[in-house]
A and B are shown apart, each in its own frame.
Chain A
Amino acid sequence: MEKKLDNIRNFSIIAHIDHGKSTLADRLMEFTETVAKRDSKEQLLDSMDIERERGITIKLTPVTMKYTKDGKEYILNLIDTPGHVDFTYEVSRSLAACEGAILIVDATQGVQAQTLANFYLAFENNLEVLPVINKMDLPSARPDDAKADIERIIGIPADEAPCISAKTGLNIKEVLDQIVEQIPAPVGDDEAPLQALIFDSYYDNYKGAVCLVRIKNGTVKTGTKIKMLQTGREFEVVEVGIFKPKIERGDILKAGDVGYISASIKTVSDIKVGDTITEIERQAEPLPGYREVQPVVYSGIFPIDGDKYNALKDALEKIKLSDASLVYTPETSSALGYGFRCGFLGLLHLEIITERLERHFGLDVITTMPSVTYNVYKRNGEKLEISNPSNMPAGDEIDYIEEPFIKANIYSPPEYVGAIMDLGIAKRGIYKDMQYLADNRVKLDFELPLAEVVFDFFDKLKSTTHGYASFDYEISGYQKSDMVKVDMLLNSEPCDALSMIVHRSRAYERSRAITEKLKEVVPRQLFEIPIQATIGGKIIARETVKALRKDVIAKCYGGDVSRKRKLLEKQKEGKKKMKRLGSVELPSEAFLSILKMDNE
């Protein structure tokens, strides 16, 4: 029978960037003596250094805390959430594991765009939202204004909101008390068939892939024979436990609990976020909200040093162990040699993977133009899914092409509506609807080509709205589009790594931008190098890198040959790092600068 599990509270913390989410989490852990103060590093939960540097949390690290109020001991499970639009689905699953959320508002800044977007996400997941006013230690703190902001803009009462300083630890107890008082206890039935929501997974060298779960109903312990309802995979549980925030083995997880299940699962690819774990013997219904996570953007990754192909392969395998959303298959490029075609959740994800390859595995890699997946319908009736420009059939074989579109919800103060409209139109978007959510909050709905969004839409949106706007999106389907493949020719030889699929209306502009950029970054060489952009063999843009005319050291003073030697060594080193594209040599950085070019 379902009942209130009155000693448990499951919650997450949501906040605008820099409003103090991770710091508050640290203070809660300290106050509840989950961690000793001396062990507490700044921002305990952000476990990966790359993410820490970027100030964003991607990996969700839950923590179980014990807190005694009025003589009763409560178990508080904090589930942290990532903060980037690439990971919207993961956030939604984490929130689905909670009953409430702490909404941090900066006492000096009030409600910000992201605060609002995050609130809506929490609201959609039926969470009880508990506002907290942070940064009271700052002289410019204006808690009353912040509270008024919350009531006026978000529309929830903020009178009781604790005024805290996560930095100094002021009023942390009040936050904990309110968690107990105001966040609903989870409801569930220990006796019912097992329903465990997977909200994340990670890879452990000894345990293999581990599921992070919220038990909705039933119990799970060592030896339980389980089944993943979406994938149909079956396992036997080896171990269960909780996070404090280091893992701590336990005997059993019951309805309402948050913890981990390890079951000799080989890779995290076998674990789907949003999937439901049940018992083989007594199968329950899958929990709602599951979505297959699919890469939205594809790019080739090649080692700069061709000998490092196997090292790259090993590195990708290792990353894949802990990052199920990464997919890859071998790819060969005439310009770049052997590498992999990889799929990512978005450009941030792509950047994180390449940074991990470079930092953790010491690999210098080149990534090719990111691309989404197009449906290509050929005249002979065949349908192809193309995410690599190299695989695009010849123009005369193509009947038509469809490209993926998304439905975007953009939240912003009204003064930026004009700028957002312009941006939406510039990105080939179709305006759908606009709603005033409050006096100074507007929600705009657009249909946008995914290709335009994955590149720099988020950055552009932030810069045109001074960081006030935020957005989330979901794939809405495919629509017919006039896409063309543009080939780049260096020294009259096609450079497949620079080929791209673009909308015809953008082809000329993009080609000009790339040929100009190439002209800028291709170092002059002994021979003149023509740079051409073509569609189906027809040149639409052209530049020329003039031949090098002067490159000589004048003097060799007093027999100082070592100066020359050094220069030669430096040049040789530089040349080694050059990427040979056909007969043209290009420094890797130059190549990257083209690939990173604004999608203007």
Chain B
Amino acid sequence: MTDLFPLLMILLMLNIVVGLMRVLRGPTAADRMLAAEMFATSAIAIALLLAVLTQREALVDLALVFALLSALAVVTFVNRAWSGRVRSSDGEDRP
């Protein structure tokens, strides 16, 4: 069964490469952010497959860190980069 794991890893890596198309095309920032989220899931899956394949438990910790931090990017995105307010020069927020 472990013969299958490298194949699955290649599939997941191709998954990321194909998903890069969505980052390239957009059209909105939300689409690009969504694609970036998908990459985190695929990278976690790759790390977990490698962890079981090579018997390295440190890679599960790596996946754990990825999973924990994946929320941060989206929350920053909606709160800071794409919050829907454009700052004008007089310091007031307008919608």
A binds B: no
Name B's A-contacting residues (CB within 8 A).
none
